Amino acid sequence: SQTIHQWPATLVQPVGSPLSLECTVEGTSNPNLYWYRQAAGRGLQLLFYSVGIGQISSEVPQNLSASRPQDRQFILSSKKLLLSDSGFYLCAWNAPITGIMYEQYFGPGTRLTVT
């Protein structure tokens, strides 16, 4: 079965510090991978998605970047965190149900607090 991991689970970082969040998926190959952010009391915002190694699409211009160095690894980074980067960061992957239908599953998330 497929499993998605995220770490760390929680993180407290000062403003201006760098960030690296990691997501890995087990039990599947060539998945579509996604990074979402959920700010306190708000909805899920798609930040980045990737359809393959080295292929990154950005949905919202901001202080963050993403990379996919391996097939089942997705990394979210920042060089200098802002207070507004605080939130619940979720990694997700697409599982094919049929040839054209997919379902999306989320990892456990990383709760980031920028102080």
Nearer to other proteins, 5 or 13 (CB): 5
Residues from 66 through 105 that contact other proteins (CB under 8 A): 88, 90, 94, 96-97, 99-105
Nearer to other proteins, 83 or 100 (CB): 100
Rg of the Cα trace of the chain? 14
Q: Which residues bind other proteins (CB under 8 A)?
A: 30, 32, 34, 42-44, 46, 49, 51-52, 59, 88, 90, 94, 96-97, 99-109, 111
